[in-house]
Amino acid sequence: MSIDVKALGKVAVLMGGTSAERQISLMSGTGVLAALQSQGVDAHAFDPAERELVELKHEGFARCFIALHGRHGEDGSVQGALELLGIPYTGSGVMASAIAMDKVMTKRVWIAEGLPTPRYVWLAPEQRSRERIRTVPDDLGLPLIVKPPREGSSIGISKVVGYSQMQGAVELAAKYDADVLCEEFIEGDEVTCPVLGQGTSARALPVIRIMAPASAYDYQNKYFTDDVKYQCPSGLPAAEEEEIQRIVVQAYRTLGCRGWGRADLMIRRSDRKAFLLEMNTSPGMTTHSLVPMSAKAAGLSYEALCVQILADAGLDATRASAA
């Protein structure tokens, strides 16, 4: 299906922003901007940290490609502002973005729908006495993962292997979020799987297997080294890959996602069961990013991927009235 790029109008690529992931967003946005321009799209960079969003309306932008990551870009905030301005945007709407940004709320929805996700303990500020923190491993076992529930890019995450590490891990996560999420550690293969589309037309792209040095798939290795190895095609048995894709599409639709997204999962080594970790509603689009890698394996170039995502831009209000 060919897309008339001229019909897309004047496009703002939203990048930068104010979250802890600003640097990654600038990298993603720069790549997207160049890709769209190379395809003849009238695309321009726009940093909400430096300009008021209302300028989008004043300057006649017809749609936005959201390349923002983290808070105020991926959490429903900018989506809500664009709804009020009446400017179609890429990716999920207000509710799905807000839920997916909060890993605890995401887990609650998935668990309610019978989808597999690791067991967890949520520590609100008033629940973080030393005594309570020390007992978390009794609930989840060791090792376990401690992270801020509303950050991405592995920011503020710790793997805890002993009781003595709990306090420091919780204090680190609390620097980034008022709440702290403690999660059962799933020993096994780390994989990720992107999704494109909406509703019954949503389809999963090929699964990517992630092999990090000493399992250190952290912020530095994700974006600034070539030490992490990726397999796409994943090399997993066909039935296993298909089951992961099925779970991911169900998880995506359950949250009400649209446009595009990417789910991260762990496959438990002992029984090969897949567990959902999180859903990214504004995934990275850097040279190290995974959605472009998966799309390429499916025969979709980086440039074509960017144009397709942009062409699917919409508004919650429009979709609701169409329904």
| pLDDT 10s digits, 46-55 | 999 999 999 9
| Known catalytic membership, residue 221 | no
| Known catalytic membership, residue 303 | no
| Known catalytic membership, residue 223 | yes
26-40, 145-159, 172-186, 260-274 — which is least confidently predicted? 145-159
pLDDT at 235 over 60: yes
| Known catalytic membership, residue 284 | yes
| Known catalytic membership, residue 102 | no
| pLDDT 10s digits, 170-196 | 999 999 999 999 999 999 999 999 999
Average pLDDT of the chain to the nearest whole number: 93
| Known catalytic membership, residue 264 | yes
Do residues 85 and 56 make contact, with C-beta atoms less than 8 angstroms apart? yes
**Mean per-residue pLDDT for 28-35?**
98
Q: CB atoms < 10 A from the CB of 267, how many?
A: 21
Catalytic residue chosen out of the listed positions 16, 17, 19, 21: 21
Catalytic residue chosen out of the listed positions 89, 217, 223, 252: 223
Catalytic residue chosen out of the listed positions 152, 264, 294, 316: 264
Catalytic residue chosen out of the listed positions 158, 280, 282, 294: 280
Kindly report the CATH number that applies to the domain delimited by 5-90.
3.40.50.20
**Mean per-residue pLDDT for 81-85?**
97
Catalytic residue chosen out of the listed positions 25, 77, 97, 153: 153
Query: How many residues are recorded in the chain?
Result: 323
What are the start and end residues of each CATH 3.40.50.20 domain in the chain? Answer: 5-90
| CATH domain 99-116+187-310 topology | D-amino Acid Aminotransferase; Chain A, domain 1 (3.30.470)
Kindly report the CATH number that applies to the domain delimited by 120-184.
3.30.1490.20
**H-assigned helices in the chain:** 22-38, 54-58, 77-85, 94-101, 103-112, 130-140, 166-174, 219-223, 238-254, 290-297, 302-311, 316-322
Whole-angstrom distance, CA of residue 162 vs CA of residue 12: 47
What are the start and end residues of each CATH 3.30.470.20 domain in the chain? Answer: 99-116+187-310
pLDDT at 110 over 70: yes
Q: Kindly give the pairing relationship between strand 260-268 and strand 274-280.
A: antiparallel
DSSP 127: G
- Alpha carbons within 13 angstroms on the beta-carbon side of residue 242 total 3
What band does 155 get if pLDDT is binned at 50, 70 and 90? confident
Catalytic residue chosen out of the listed positions 278, 282, 289, 294: 278
The pLDDT assigned to 19 comes to 87
